[in-house]
């Protein structure tokens, strides 16, 4: 990696001399860095790359899909032919999320109920 580091540094210095970094958007403003302290150091660059490309980790994609399915199920009746398929898909996603070690309380409204009760008490 030593040669690669030297090569990259040389190109950066050349670009600075030519003024390629002048007048970039956000120049002179503080950087807004994400808190990635919970991500292992060796995975941070990869995660940042995926995030900037608009990709979500599998667990977050599943969570997003589960929320969308739950919302769909709230909007249709149990007699609807799609209801059973949507319910099966939601159940499968819930199992996958639990196996990944994630809570699925957000699907059942438990958190919102507890929060509202706590607010009412105060």
Reference 90, options 56, 67, 61; nearest CA is 67
Instruction: Give the three-class secondary structure for 100.
Output: coil
In the block, which residue shows the tokens 């159940």?
Answer: 91
How far, in Å, CA of 41 to CA of 43, rounded?
5
pLDDT category of residue 14 using cuts at 50, 70 and 90 = very high
How would you classify residue 54: left for phi > 0, otherwise alpha for psi between -120 and 50, otherwise beta?
Answer: left
- pTM attached to this predicted model: 0.52
Q: Is 26 left (phi over 0), alpha (psi -120 to 50) or beta?
A: left
Is residue 74 very low, low, confident or very high in pLDDT (cuts 50, 70, 90)? confident
């Amino acid at each position: 990696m030593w040669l690669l580091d030297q090569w990259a540094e040389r190109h950066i210095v050349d670009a600075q001399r030519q003024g390629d970094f002048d007048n970039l958007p956000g120049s002179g403003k503080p950087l807004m860095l994400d808190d990635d302290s919970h991500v292992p150091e060796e995975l941070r660059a990869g995660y940042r790359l995926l995030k900037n490309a608009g990709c979500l980790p599998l667990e977050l994609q599943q969570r997003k899909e589960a929320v969308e399915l739950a919302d769909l199920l709230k909007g249709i009746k149990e007699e609807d032919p799609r209801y059973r398929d949507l319910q099966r898909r939601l159940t499968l996603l819930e199992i996958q999320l639990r196996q990944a070690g994630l809570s699925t309380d957000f699907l059942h409204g438990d958190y919102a109920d507890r929060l509202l009760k706590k607010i009412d008490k105060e």
